[in-house]
Amino acid sequence: MKKEMEKALNKQVNAELYSSYLYLAMESYFQSISLSGFASWMRVQVQEEMFHGIKIYDYIHERGGKARLEAIAKPEEKWETPLAAFEHVLAHEQHVTGLINNLIDVALDVRDHAAKAFLDWFITEQVEEESTAGQIVDRLRLIGKDSSGLFLLDTELAKRVFVVPVK
Ligand code: FEO
């Protein structure tokens, strides 16, 4: 694998681990305001992001490269409202989609079609991530200040479980 591709993939490992860290901070925020269903949804998100990071880490080694772990930035700790937190999730996922698109550009530039095929999985995943976050943002906007609606959504979000995606 070309060094440029390896470097770009390594950067993405860090971005995925940062995502995991950010959602762990959001889990803590939801715990602190006693929305345990939201917190539990975030825990699944933490696991998904860790899975994404490790998936790229494994791929670097599979291609004969070396995964290099950099420092993970400190995430925010607090959000004004559950809506603000989920707007942040949506904006963050849109940002990650941009990073994946850039990675694919690198793969195409260096004519690494294997890396391109590997990264296609992430393209599909990002569509789902943005759609899910967008739906929750919409629901929270509809709920507004109605606490019974919020608790109903909390109960619904509690049902999410982490399923290891099939390779
Ligand atoms: Fe790994 Fe939420 O993108």
Distance 52 CA to ligand 1 centre (A): 7
Fold annotation for 3-155: Ferritin (1.20.1260)
Ligand 1 atom nearest 52 alpha carbon = 1
CB-ligand 1 contact for 88 (6 Å cutoff): no
DSSP string, the chain: --HHHHHHHHHHHHHHHHHHHHHHHHHHHHHHTT-HHHHHHHHHHHHHHHHHHHHHHHHHHHTT----PPPPPPPP---SSHHHHHHHHHHHHHHHHHHHHHHHHHHHHTT-HHHHHHHHHHHHHHHHHHHHHHHHHHHHHHHTT-HHHHHHHHHHHTT----PPP-
Residue 124 has pLDDT above 70, yes or no: yes
User: Domain limits of the chain?
Assistant: 3-155
Q: Whose CA is nearest to atom 1 of ligand 1?
A: 49
Confidence category of residue 113, pLDDT binned at 50, 70, 90: very high
Q: Is the pTM of this model over 0.75?
A: yes
- Residue-level pLDDT at 166: 76
> What are 143-156's pLDDT values in tens digits?
999 999 999 999 99
**Number of the ligand 1 atom closest to the C-alpha atom of 48:** 1
